[in-house]
Amino acid sequence: MVVRVQREDFDVGAEIVAMTAGDHGIGGITSFVGLVRDIVGEANAAGGAMTLEHYPGMTEKMLANIDTEAQSRWPLSASLIIHRYGRLEPGDNIVLVAAASAHRGD
């Protein structure tokens, strides 16, 4: 289990390689990547960049709770949650959630 809250961008491929780190028992990986949308033109649109804040300690604890629940529901070999904060532009990565297991069905 890895949970990180960071200002820096992440490389999805590199993060998944690091998460699996030679574990040849992994047979399936699923991931979700959240991106900043350019919402200009939508109802109540803020438009352009967005700034995300977080409360150190609390944010990591809540993300760890989500990961712990996933670990209790499925037989995961590895998991990863990265959530960014700070000023983010349209197209920037916001979040990466990845999980690996021995069987794709899991």
Please tell me the predicted confidence (pLDDT) of residue 49.
Answer: 87
Please tell me the predicted confidence (pLDDT) of residue 32.
Answer: 98
Residue 65, φ and ψ in degrees, nearest 5: -65, -40
Please tell me the predicted confidence (pLDDT) of residue 47.
Answer: 66
Check if the beta carbon of residue 19 is closer than 8 Å to that of residue 99.
Answer: no
Residue reference for tokens 């200002």: 7
Please tell me the predicted confidence (pLDDT) of residue 38.
Answer: 84
- Per-residue pLDDT 10s for the chain (106 aa) are 899 999 999 999 999 999 999 899 999 999 999 999 887 655 555 567 889 999 999 999 999 999 999 999 999 999 999 999 999 999 999 999 999 999 977 6
Please tell me the predicted confidence (pLDDT) of residue 44.
Answer: 57
Cα dist. 94→26, 73, 80, 85, 101 in Å?
26, 25, 14, 8, 24
Q: Which residues does residue 81 pair with via DSSP β-bridges, in sequence order?
A: 3, 97
What is the C-alpha to C-alpha distance for residues 105 and 10, in angstroms, rounded to an integer?
27
